[in-house]
Amino acid sequence: MASPIKRTKRGVPEGLWLRCPGCQNAIFRKEAEKRLSVCPECGYHFYVSARERIEQVLDTGTFEEWDGGLRPTDPLEFQDKKRYDERLKLEQERTGLLDAAITGCGMIRARRVAFGVTDSAFLMGSMGSVVGERLTRLVERATEQRLPLIVVSGSGGGARMHEGILSLMQMAKISAALARYDREGGLFISVLTNPTMGGVAASFASLGDLVFAEPQALIGFAGPRTIKATIRIELPKGFQTSEFLLEHGFVDRIVPRDKLKSEIARTIDYCGK
Amino acid sequence: MDTPAPGLDFEQPIYEIESRIRAQQQSGDRRGEDELRRLRRELAETTRRVYDNLNPWQVVQVARHKDRPHTADYLAMAFEEFVELHGDRHFGDDRAILTGFAKLDQHKVMVVGHQKGRTYKERSACYFGCAHPEGYRKAMGKMRMAAKYGLPVICFIDTPGAYPGIGAEERGQAWVIAENMYEMSRLETPVICVVIGEGGSGGALGIGVGDRVAVLEHAYYSVISPEGCAGILWKSHEYAPRAAEALRFTSRDLLRLGVVDDVIPEPLGGAHRDPHQMAGRLKIYLVRALRELIDRPLPDLVASRYEKFRRMGVFLEG
Ligand SMILES: [Zn+2]
């Protein structure tokens, strides 16, 4: 069967038309892109890459990357069906990224901020040593330079299995850096996007002074499949969505993509940073 | 789930000699003393050979052994007193994490430890050692109190992982684990963490940020269970032994990767063969670590705890 929607090597559909997972309509790609990759029919928020996110949130041309020279390696000589070092090379070619996070500084409506973003297309946005180190340095610089800190998370993978226990320890490392930043009075706004799971959810993503979430994002600790396999009952509708978490008290605001920049700027002003 | 374990298959050569020893003892043969001595020597050699060559998947079996001592056992064997304190003041009292005052060789401390239970009833009450958010909140609440009154904290880690369920997600499993790491990293009292059995991912790290992190020789500490990893990367749980190899989570690997400070040796044939000896070794370790930590100025202590975790990770630069 011929489909107008092609799956491409980036893991996101490309071509003139997009099938919207929200309303099942075929959406003219240009129409969605004009709206920051949000479905014009139903408001579904499509995946955006780390680079696109930087363009959407920061003032044009103000982003300055930090620690771009950090590169992943293969400390465990990990091998499943494929060797991890080969997998890394493929992911790097496919996404144009060295690893799953980009960090640096820039301006949001003329307010200088430290800014980090993970890209859920690079090994599911999982956190290994490079993501952990980049984000920790970002937090440390934000502390030194007394900058507000914004991190936009997207990670279906959580802590990266291929770097084993070292990935797990990144959770503690970043959390400790955020605790110091907090002690110095820093303002951290954490933005959760679809999906934010596992060790990313259970570390920096949850530690914002304010936690924003894009509508309808999947957010949680354990994956829905793991939960279903454990408890053997159907999961309630809307379980682990942004709206579910807001209802249970873990998200401050659900912020549609086109409002994200102005909401961040306003929060910075309220907190006097 | 509580099937009577037939014992571990790689321990069969050990059981076999043990049964020959029992037979010899029952035979009442007076000339049997020499034979008995020989068998005992053979038992020690065989046990050593088996345990010196455990592969990572076998280590997991030992770490999960039904007779392996748990937090409650160490509290009974290595501590002079334990005064349990319940509840998280928000939701309930999670049986998967035990907390309370304890005395260790005249040191007053706060103990926080995962609890797996022995009988089926106990095991279901504490979800086989998988804590809910209220467990992590209880742990943090008691640790904060310990810091307030100058008590060092001792954490025993022994969990397959934090509980994956509807209630756990509704009550913020991700949030409480993150908050515990955040608060433990700056807690103003000495913190000693020991992985005594299973160090299962975020559920372990949620009580795992300390000035000293040690692991028992046959315990393991991993980003994901070998079964979970096999399911995702090999698409089948049957590849768990392969995943166990790949994940590098045995005590020797953890030491090499700089994730733990010390490995506490287990008695010959594992902690389950001689819980009392294991408890004795654990006690010696804890008392020594306490003595090293208790007189340090708190700002120094907290700063070096930060640096310890700050160094973790392997990457290239430039
Ligand atoms: Zn739609």
pLDDT tens for each residue of A198-241: 999 999 999 999 999 999 999 999 999 999 999 999 999 999 99
Q: Which residues pair with A43 in a beta bridge?
A: none
Residue B288 lies in domain: 59-310
CA–centroid distance, residue A246 to ligand 1 (Å): 22
Whether B317 maps to a domain, the answer reads no
Per-residue confidence (pLDDT) for residue A44, from 0 to 100: 96
Number of H helices, E strands in chain B: 14, 9
Residue (of B106, B195, B182) closest to B154 by Cα position: B195
- Say whether residue A226 is in contact with chain B using an 8 A CB cutoff: yes
In a shared domain, residues B73 and B96: yes
Interchain CB distance below 8 Å, B222 and A160? no
Interchain CB distance below 8 Å, B202 and A236? no
In a shared domain, residues B42 and B97: no
Nearest residue of B to residue A232 by CA position?
A: B165
In a shared domain, residues A37 and A89: no
Residue A228 lies in domain: 48-270
In a shared domain, residues B193 and B103: yes
Helix (H) or strand (E) holding B36, with range, is helix B32-52
Residue A6 reports pLDDT greater than 80 = no
- Say whether residue A186 is in contact with chain B using an 8 A CB cutoff: no
- Say whether residue B256 is in contact with chain A using an 8 A CB cutoff: no
In a shared domain, residues A136 and A248: yes
Average pLDDT over residues B58-79: 98
Residue A4, amino acid:
P
Mutant choice from A135, A165, A184, A245 vs B, greatest count of B C-beta within 10 A: A165
CA distance A120 to A10: 11
Average pLDDT over residues B146-168: 98
Question: Nearest CB to A206: which of B175, B253, B310?
Answer: B175
Average pLDDT over residues B272-297: 98
- Say whether residue B223 is in contact with chain A using an 8 A CB cutoff: yes
CA–centroid distance, residue A27 to ligand 1 (Å): 7
In a shared domain, residues A140 and A188: yes
In a shared domain, residues B284 and B259: yes
Long-range contact set of residues B105-110: C-beta below 8 Å, sequence gap at least 24: B105/B80, B105/B283, B105/B287, B106/B80, B107/B152, B107/B287, B107/B290, B107/B294, B108/B151, B109/B146, B109/B151, B109/B152, B109/B153, B109/B154, B109/B290, B110/B142, B110/B143, B110/B145, B110/B146, B110/B151, B110/B152, B110/B153, B110/B154
Mutant choice from B130, B249, B315 vs A, greatest count of A C-beta within 10 A: B315
Q: Give how many domains chain A has, as a whole number.
A: 2
CATH number, domain with residue B245? 3.90.226.10
Per-residue confidence (pLDDT) for residue A7, from 0 to 100: 46
Contacts of residue B212, defined as CB under 8 A and 6 or more positions apart, other chains included, come to B191, B192, B193, B261, B262, B289, B293
* CA angle A259–A264–A267, rounded 5-degree value: 120
- Say whether residue B179 is in contact with chain A using an 8 A CB cutoff: yes
Mutant choice from A82, A168, A182, A250 vs B, greatest count of B C-beta within 10 A: A168
Average pLDDT over residues B265-292: 98
How far is Cα of residue A88 from the mean position of the Cα atoms in its chain? Answer: 19
Q: A260-270 and A50-57 helices cross at what angle (nearest 10)?
A: 60
Average pLDDT over residues A91-97: 97
Largest CA-CA distance found in chain B, in angstroms, rounded: 75
Going by the DSSP 8-state scheme, the letter that residue A206 receives in this structure is G
In a shared domain, residues B142 and B236: yes
- Say whether residue B90 is in contact with chain A using an 8 A CB cutoff: no
Q: How confident is the model at residue A14 (pLDDT cuts 50, 70, 90)?
A: low
Q: Looking at the complex, report in whole angstroms how far the Cα of residue B44 sits from the nearest Cα belonging to chain A.
A: 33
Residue, of A130 and A18, whose pLDDT is higher: A130
In a shared domain, residues A142 and A27: no
In a shared domain, residues A42 and A27: yes
Residue A108 burial (CB count, 10 A): 21
Do A180 and B306 touch, CB atoms closer than 8 A?
Answer: yes
In A3-98, which ranges are E strands? 6-7, 13-14, 17-19, 26-28, 64-65, 71-72
Residue B300 burial (CB count, 10 A): 9
In chain A, which among 82-121 make CB contacts under 8 A with chain B? none
CA distance A237 to B40: 62
In a shared domain, residues B135 and B277: yes
% of residues, chain B, pLDDT over 70: 98
CA–centroid distance, residue A122 to ligand 1 (Å): 25
CA distance B257 to A101: 23
Going by the DSSP 8-state scheme, the letter that residue B5 receives in this structure is P
Residue (of A174, A251, A91, A76) closest to B224 by Cα position: A76
In a shared domain, residues B45 and B63: no
CA–centroid distance, residue A24 to ligand 1 (Å): 6
Average pLDDT over residues A159-171: 98
CA distance B255 to A146: 36
Mark residue B81 as left, alpha or beta (left: phi above 0; alpha: psi -120 to 50; beta: remaining): beta
ipTM associated with this complex = 0.96
For the record, the structure tokens of A199 come out as: 């060790």
In a shared domain, residues A29 and A69: no
Nearest residue of B to residue A198 by CA position?
A: B174
Whether B5 maps to a domain, the answer reads no
Do B159 and B96 touch, CB atoms closer than 8 A?
Answer: yes
Interchain CB distance below 8 Å, A132 and B313? yes
CA distance B90 to B75: 26
Residue B224: its chain A contacts at CB < 8 A? 159, 161
In a shared domain, residues A27 and A63: no
Q: How confident is the model at residue B30 (pLDDT cuts 50, 70, 90)?
A: confident
Do A171 and A199 touch, CB atoms closer than 8 A?
Answer: yes
CATH number, domain with residue A94? 3.90.226.10
Q: How confident is the model at residue B13 (pLDDT cuts 50, 70, 90)?
A: very high
Do B116 and B148 touch, CB atoms closer than 8 A?
Answer: no
In a shared domain, residues A124 and A207: yes
Going by the DSSP 8-state scheme, the letter that residue B26 receives in this structure is H
% of residues, chain A, pLDDT over 70: 95
Average pLDDT over residues B234-238: 94
Average pLDDT over chain A, rounded to an integer: 94
In a shared domain, residues B49 and B70: no
Residue A9 reports pLDDT greater than 70 = no
CA–centroid distance, residue A13 to ligand 1 (Å): 14
In a shared domain, residues A91 and A225: yes
CA–centroid distance, residue A36 to ligand 1 (Å): 13
Read off φ and ψ for residue B315, nearest 5 degrees: -155, 170
In a shared domain, residues B43 and B76: no
In a shared domain, residues A256 and A198: yes
In a shared domain, residues B39 and B139: no
Average pLDDT over residues A17-27: 93
Number of H helices, E strands in chain A: 9, 13
CA–centroid distance, residue A32 to ligand 1 (Å): 9
Question: Nearest CB to B170: which of A159, A183, A248?
Answer: A248
Average pLDDT over residues B215-219: 98
CA distance B225 to B198: 9
Q: How far is CA A33 from CA A18, A120, A251, A266, in A?
A: 11, 18, 27, 25
Residue A218: its chain B contacts at CB < 8 A? none
Q: Give how many domains chain B has, as a whole number.
A: 2
- What's the whole-model pTM score? 0.95
% of residues, chain B, pLDDT over 90: 94
CA–centroid distance, residue A191 to ligand 1 (Å): 22
In a shared domain, residues A18 and A131: no
- Say whether residue A61 is in contact with chain B using an 8 A CB cutoff: no
For the record, the structure tokens of A235 come out as: 């999961």
- Say whether residue B171 is in contact with chain A using an 8 A CB cutoff: yes
Q: Looking at the complex, report in whole angstroms how far the Cα of residue B181 sits from the nearest Cα belonging to chain A.
A: 6
In a shared domain, residues A132 and A39: no
Residue B256 reports pLDDT greater than 80 = yes
Do A28 and A17 touch, CB atoms closer than 8 A?
Answer: yes
CA distance A42 to A32: 11
